[in-house]
Homo-oligomer: A and B are copies of this chain.
Amino acid sequence: MKPGRADRVWSVDEHLADILGKIRPLEPIALQLLDAQGCVLTEDVTAPAALPPFDNSSMDGYAVRIADVEGASEEFPAVLAVVGDVAAGSGELPAVGPGEAARIMTGAPLPPGAEAVVPVEWTDGGLGGGPATTMAGSGTAEVRVHRSVDARAHVRARGSDVTAGELVLPAGTLLGPAQIGLLAAIGRGTVSVRPRPRVVVVSTGSELVPPGESLAHGQIHDSNSFMLTACARAAGALAYRVGAVDDDPATLRAALEDQLVRADAVVTSGGVSVGAYDVVKEALSGLPAEEGRVDFRRLAMQPGKPQGFGRIGPDRTPLFALPGNPVSSYVSFELFVRPALRALMGLEPADRTTVRAVCPEGVASSPKGRRQYLRGRHDPATGEVTLVGGSGSHLVKALAGADALIVVPEDATSVAPGAELDAILLD
């Protein structure tokens, strides 16, 4: 390739901006409530009716008229005739007239005529003894009430949580357990949300052997397809691990064509550099226009210099061609794929917390003109971040021991011990 604009080095931010500029959120679908957990609403949800739908008791006790219990005390109780029993879910309600009371359970509708609820602990429970602790005495003819109550005491008013027609959750709300509870409470069985993206993960390399199988000389175990599938799931996607494809462009193209029907995004690893067998680059560079387009670039970062991104197939499915070194592919996923998957879901692309952290040991050397992402451990107690392993992009053990990516800016070639750096906190 001749040098020039097409071959220029892209910054991390330019590459991410290019990706996000080409990502559209997935089309909304109607999902059952529990399938919508972790998804973003695409409708303004209003309540079709008031919640609670009727005045109801917040206590186990007796539904009474205020005047009947005015001035009541343990010494001089109000004695009321018990005219019925109201459980939660009761349809037919006894009317409570003067001098009368109805036993009522938490959540049960306030019967007509009643103005308040006296908790059972403020009565004899219909047993004719001292203060009751339970509603044990059923079918008793009368109850002694030991305290007066204000109007509407222990009554949850119809509509006191939500009024009919009220907007309860606006479009854009992320649905967690409490939002799902609210949707169920107002009677919604399905909601319109952006679905979780289906992500197909393919690693490439004739040297790759699945874990669990033995290695011939020159072979290694495929780790990227497992790691990137797990990364996609951790980002909220439904991920399918296709596994490793040989370094043959026709085989890779056939695999991608097969997979596109179930993909909202494709992630490949390996085969994007300047080598003679860089299969992803070979298979996807210079596609005919009707098949889409994938651009391969050099980025001003380490690890992760070679990157591909484009949209392929009839639906122009986003494809991320990540470098094959495990640490490079992990860092590339974090920086570029995770934000894109979140954008597909309608979420804010950036979600990781970045903190300024003191790096006591400093960084001995960092490549000039490239933003370096080193693996580190962040201690929130001290605000310090320490390096884990070296800068080698094959160091998987160190990656597994890290909980942060330490960012060394493009213009730094070293970092003095004790200097502050950005640290991106991983989970």
Using CB atoms and an 8 Å cutoff, list the residues of chain A in contact with chain B: 1, 3, 7, 33-34, 37, 49, 51-54, 58, 60, 85, 87-91, 93, 103, 105-109, 120, 133-136, 138, 156, 160-162, 168-169, 176-190, 205-208, 210-231, 233-234, 241, 247, 273-277, 324-326, 330, 392-400, 402, 426-427
Contacts and interface: CB of A to CB of B under 8 A. Distances in A.
B105 A277 contact: yes
A224 B34 CA distance: 12
A426 B181 CA distance: 15
B178 A54 contact: no
A361 to B, nearest CB: 20
A230 B88 CA distance: 25
Nearest to A353: B380
Nearest to A232: B177
Given A88-B277, A211-B33, A226 B181 contact: yes
Contacts of A398: 161
Nearest to A107: B207
Interface SS majority for chain A = loop
B247 A34 contact: no
Contacts of A138: 276
Nearest to A281: B134
Contacts of A402: 178
Contacts of A181: 223-224, 226-227, 230, 326, 330, 396, 399-400
A189 B212 contact: yes
Contacts of A60: 273-276
A178 B107 contact: no
A247 B87 CA distance: 10
B108 A218 contact: yes
Copies of this protein chain in the complex: 2
Contact of A53 (B108, B213, B220, B228): B220
Contacts of A106: 273, 275, 324-325
A96 to B, nearest CB: 16
Nearest to A3: B133
Given A177-B234, A247-B87, A103 B218 contact: no
Contacts of A393: 58
A103 B276 CA distance: 9
B400 A178 contact: yes
The residue in A49, A178, A215, A218 that gathers the most chain B C-beta atoms within 10 A of its C-beta is A178
Contacts of A216: 91
Contact of A223 (B103, B184, B220): B184
A90 B218 contact: yes
Given A134-B274, A274-B120, A276-B85, A182 B427 contact: no
B211 A394 contact: no
Contact of A107 (B3, B162, B182, B324): B324
25 contacts: A7-B133, A33-B211, A37-B234, A49-B215, A53-B219, A105-B277, A106-B325, A107-B205, A109-B217, A134-B275, A160-B394, A161-B396, A161-B398, A168-B397, A169-B400, A177-B231, A177-B234, A178-B426, A180-B226, A180-B230, A181-B396, A184-B227, A185-B211, A187-B214, A187-B221
Nearest to A134: B274
Contacts of A33: 211, 226
Nearest to A206: B89
The residue in A211, A225, A330 that gathers the most chain B C-beta atoms within 10 A of its C-beta is A211
Given A106-B324, A247-B89, A133 B274 contact: yes
The residue in A3, A107, A156, A224 that gathers the most chain B C-beta atoms within 10 A of its C-beta is A107
Contacts of A3: 133
A135 B275 contact: yes
A228 to B, nearest CB: 8
Given A187-B215, A230-B177, A400 B182 contact: yes
A174 to B, nearest CB: 10
Nearest to A235: B177
